[in-house]
Chain A
């Protein structure tokens, strides 16, 4: 209860509010409306739609064949185990839970990688936080170049994150709209033409938004050029295990770069999708150093960067991930579930493509099954996407990106028919 003196003074000042307001700093008046977030805006529109057939193919979160969010069995078991331990909620160190980051490094780089003893790794606020810490690190310490080159197209948030770090952002050609595949020639030309030592962002697997990944042979060519031009490879790996169903296969490109040891490698790693830990914000940022001493120096600087951003990372998700990664039966169960998720997605790709072909579509839909991971770049034009929303209550981003996880056996036919409707002319 407030003392009467305090209550009186508050009442007095509240009363004075009705007269001349305090000379407020006009801080806010000139602020313009920020741009709407394209991806999250889709979900808003979807929520407002009352049609029973509506489909949300916008946000990249996995859904079961019933269209529901999925808490992995391995994650549930890990949570039960953690509850029983009755742990406290004390702050983690700045670089996070060591048992988690150690296991995460092994998962990414391979348990037998020579890099493990010299990787400077910190737990981050999922993949976005890793990109942010990485960008901040490069802005402060990588004086060779200060531009990050993104594939065209890339995840919508990449450019925003790097620009807010104070880096410049530009593109290299990547997606070929004609083939709906990789434009390797153009990509290699562009990478060759970049200033020596440029920061090149590479999607380790399951490219977002296109689903177009280089083949192993194509990765070798990319690696050659990156090494030849002494570029820095900034890998973004948000779908390890989720792309092919095999965690080692999905990390092959990253590991090849690291094994060659020629190009500097930094990595942003997310457990949002492959462990379904989305909102718990579980990720890491790491730098492959020359040796353990360099690793320690790098870590000391990373800590300085992290402290003013958020002090230390969240415990809950990291503990779950650590439990899963470090407990052999849970880890096996987890890898099995990741494969199941990947297989369901591959199954939906196959079903969608078959149905479109059965409907007699004159277009080629091979890309639906050639592409990999959460997303499919359908090739649909903005006007067609708008029609899908308006006439068919199907929501996807205007670049034609479909989140395949939103497709189920119950709605794949409706989706195919709808796409056929808007594309048959």
Chain B
């Protein structure tokens, strides 16, 4: 019955991870998967997360009962305030509905399916940045949308191609769905400035486009949750209706607990009953209810002022270590006199850096130096540390000079 089903290609990032794990070399440097590592190259349980977990472990009321379809209120309510701000008009106006999801992927998918059912015009395409997270195209196509790209990365400067982006937004038919990275763009690390976000908002308003924000790194990008939410709050303040897919995988280190939310901001409160009922309905038919444990951990942190403050500190620690590594890599490459300019490494932001290395150079790094990064030249900066930064810089220097 299934004999004719062909073998499917393996996920390239995960394949890289498998290769890296299997590599016995003591020099190996894993700059592939986007998960934070401490300065010893180890996964890091945020101290505040450990505290929250201990509280749950000693709570006599703790159990494993089903969450409601909407999710854990401590999480969804806390997440709303985190994204939209303490003094959010949208929240005060009761124009926001939040549903808990299976992390960011689940939020993207719930939003994608919802939009397929209800978008106007019905043939509106979904536009993703060129490049973007590999799973975006798959998610929106699976949900049945046509997927197109808007220019984003200037491959010469490795900065934002703002003119190309705005031109593409203006040239698109009216009323398209635009996927925007709220901060710490994956894979490039290139974020618009505040002024550039205004330009983007202008173009989107002009053409009546619908923003779908993917927010997987709030607090992780600059270390400041309000700054990282600037773009989302700008669009809300300018009166856009929008969706936000939010993940706590990186900023709380909850990765495998699959903790996330989808937020819908509507024009008026009277639209919320219908919108929430439809989001609930489609989530019920996919997962029934979301995963409880990670939500309880995150909810505990978000709702306790002391823990919340400690969380901000933990995030600052992660983002500043990453920034330090960015600057260190750049400085070392400059010191080595590596051909080219390397400012982009320290200008880019968040987990990833688009180095500009070519496919052959990336392959050489793997073969000769046991350094693992994706074909597009993206490095997960969190994989760098004081122990391997010299080695990594020299390796990059070598392949830039000798491999074309």
Which A residues have a C-beta under 8 Å from some C-beta of B? Answer: 1-3, 5-6, 9-10, 13-14, 16-17, 21-37, 40, 59, 61, 69, 71, 75, 79, 83, 86, 88-94, 125-129, 132, 141-142, 144, 157, 160-161, 163-164, 232, 264, 272, 276-281, 287, 289-290, 294, 296-298, 300-301, 303-304, 307-317
Binary contact readout B7-42 vs A (1 if CB under 8 angstroms, 0 otherwise): 111110010000000000000000001010000000
Determine if A13 and B237 form an interchain contact, defined as CB atoms under 8 angstroms apart.
yes
| In the complex, B155 has a CB within 8 A of chain A | no
Shortest Cβ distance from B269 into chain A, in angstroms?
Answer: 11
Chain B residues near A316 (CB-CB < 8 A): 257, 291, 293-294
- Contacting pair B109 A75 (CB below 8 A): no
Q: A311 with B105: in contact, given A22-B239, A88-B43, A89-B255 (CB under 8 Å)?
A: yes
Can you report 7 residue pairs joining A to B where beta carbons are below 8 Å apart?
A90-B43, A91-B33, A164-B113, A281-B291, A303-B11, A308-B105, A310-B106
B313 touches A (CB below 8 Å): no
Cβ of B336 within 8 Å of any chain A Cβ, yes or no, is no
**Minimum CB–CB distance for B238 against chain A, Å:** 5
List residues 178-226 of chain B with CB under 8 A from any CB of chain A.
194, 198, 205, 208-210, 224, 226
Residue B347 is within 8 A (CB to CB) of chain A in the complex: no
Give every chain B residue within 8 A of A28 (Cβ-Cβ).
118, 241, 264, 266-267, 271, 274-275
Contact yes or no, A297 B6, CB < 8 A: yes
> Which of B64, B194, B291 has the largest number of chain A CB atoms within 10 A?
B64
Q: Are B57 and A83 in contact (CB under 8 A)?
A: yes
Q: Give Cα A163 to B33, complex, Å.
A: 35
CB atoms of A17 and B254 under 8 A apart: no
Which residues on the A side are within 8 Å of B7 (C-beta)? 296-297, 300
List A contacts of B278 (CB < 8 A).
31, 34
Residue in chain B with minimal CB distance to A23: B208
A310 proximity list for chain B (CB < 8 A): 102-103, 105-106, 109, 258, 287
Nearest B residue (CB) for A29: B271
A17 touches B239 (CB 8 A): yes
The verdict on A33 contacting B273 (CB below 8 Å), with A25-B209, A91-B35 known, is yes
Asked if residues A6 and B227 are in contact (CB atoms below 8 Å), the reply is yes
Would you call A304 and B8 a contact (CB within 8 A)? yes
A27 to B53, alpha carbons, bound, how many Å?
Answer: 40
Instruction: Answer yes or no: B361 CB below 8 A from chain A CBs.
Output: no
Q: Are A33 and B11 in contact (CB under 8 A)?
A: no
Nearest CB of B to A118, in Å: 11
Bound-state CA distance A394–B24 (Å) is: 64
Contact of A79 with B57 at beta-carbon distance under 8 Å, contacts A31-B274, A132-B285, A310-B106 already known? yes
Q: Shortest CB–CB separation between residue A21 and chain B, in angstroms?
A: 4
Contact A6 B237 (CB under 8 A): no
Also in contact, A294 and B2, with CB within 8 A (given A13-B237, A35-B281): yes
Of all chain B residues, the one with the shortest Cβ separation from A68 is: B63
**Contacts A297-B6, A317-B293: A89 and B257 contacting too (C-beta < 8 A)?**
yes
Contacts of B105 in A (CB 8 A): 307-311
Determine whether the beta carbon of B293 is less than 8 Å from that of A314. yes
The proximity string for B residues 41-63 relative to A, scoring 1 for CB distances below 8 Å and 0 otherwise, is 00101000100010001000011
- B309: shortest Cβ distance to chain A, in Å? 14
> Closest CB-CB distance, A77 to chain B, in whole Å?
13
Identity of the chain B residue whose Cβ is nearest the Cβ of A277 in the assembled complex = B64
Q: Is the CB of A33 within 8 A of B66?
A: no
Interface, chain B (partner A; CB < 8 A)? 1-3, 5-11, 14, 33, 35, 43, 45, 49, 53, 57, 62-69, 89, 102-103, 105-106, 109, 113, 115, 118-120, 135, 138-139, 141-142, 175, 194, 198, 205, 208-210, 224, 226-227, 230, 233-234, 237-241, 253-258, 264, 266-267, 271, 273-275, 277-278, 280-282, 284-294
Which residues of chain A are within 8 angstroms of B281 by Cβ–Cβ distance? Answer: 34-35, 37, 160
Bound-complex Cα distance A130 to B118 (A): 26
B282–A280 CB distance below 8 A: no
Q: B residues within 8 A CB of A9?
A: 194, 198, 234
A128–B237 CB distance below 8 A: no
Q: Would you call B240 and A24 a contact (CB within 8 A)? A: yes
Tell me the nearest residue of chain B to A276, going by C-beta.
Answer: B64
Most buried by A among B6, B139, B277, B285: B285
A279 near B35: Cβ-Cβ < 8 Å? no
Additional A-B contacts beyond A37-B280, A125-B288, A290-B2 (18; CB < 8 A): A1-B226, A24-B208, A34-B281, A36-B277, A71-B64, A125-B102, A128-B284, A157-B284, A157-B285, A278-B65, A290-B3, A297-B6, A309-B106, A310-B109, A310-B258, A310-B287, A313-B102, A314-B258
Which residue in chain B gives the minimum CB-CB distance to A126?
B288
In the bound assembly, the distance between CA atoms of A130 and B227 in angstroms comes to 39
Beta-carbon contact of A91 and B256 below 8 Å: yes
> Do A281 and B289 touch (CB < 8 A)?
yes
Pick from B6, B33, B282, B288: contact of A128, CB below 8 A: B288
Q: Could you tell me the distance between the alpha carbons of A125 and B277 in the complex, rounded to whole angstroms?
A: 21
Q: How far is the CB of A31 from chain B (nearest CB, A)?
A: 4
Using known A-B contacts A5-B194, A28-B118, A141-B5, determine if residue A89 contacts B274 with beta carbons closer than 8 Å: no
Q: A3 → chain B, closest Cβ, in Å?
A: 8
Tell me whether A94 and B293 are in contact (CB under 8 A). no
What is the minimal beta-carbon distance from B129 to any residue of chain A, in angstroms? 18
Contacts of A296 in B (CB 8 A): 7
Which 8 interchain pairs have the tightest Cβ spacing?
A279-B292, A34-B277, A22-B239, A315-B256, A310-B102, A128-B288, A316-B293, A21-B239
- Verify A17–B109 contact, CB threshold 8 A: no
Inside 8 A of B241's CB, which chain A residues have their CB? 24-25, 27-28
The CA-CA distance from A88 to B292 in the complex, in Å, is 18
State in angstroms the CA–CA spacing of A34 and B281 once bound together.
7
Shortest B85–chain A CB gap in Å is 9
Q: Taking the nearest CB of chain B, how far is it from the CB of A162, in angstroms? A: 9
In the bound assembly, the distance between CA atoms of A25 and B194 in angstroms comes to 23
Q: Is the CB of A128 within 8 A of B287?
A: yes
Is the Cβ of B286 less than 8 Å from the Cβ of A132? yes
Known interface pairs A13-B238, A89-B255; A311-B2 also in contact (CB < 8 Å)? no
**CB nearest neighbor in A for B286:** A132
Q: Which of B64, B138, B210 contacts A278 (CB 8 A)?
A: B64
When the two chains form their complex, are residues B120 and A303 in contact, meaning their CB atoms are under 8 A apart?
no
Contact A308 B135 (CB under 8 A): yes
A312 and B11 contact, CB distance less than 8 A: no
Nearest CB in chain B to that of A82: its residue:
B57
A30 touches B8 (CB 8 A): no
Minimum Cβ distance to chain A for residue B196 (Å): 12
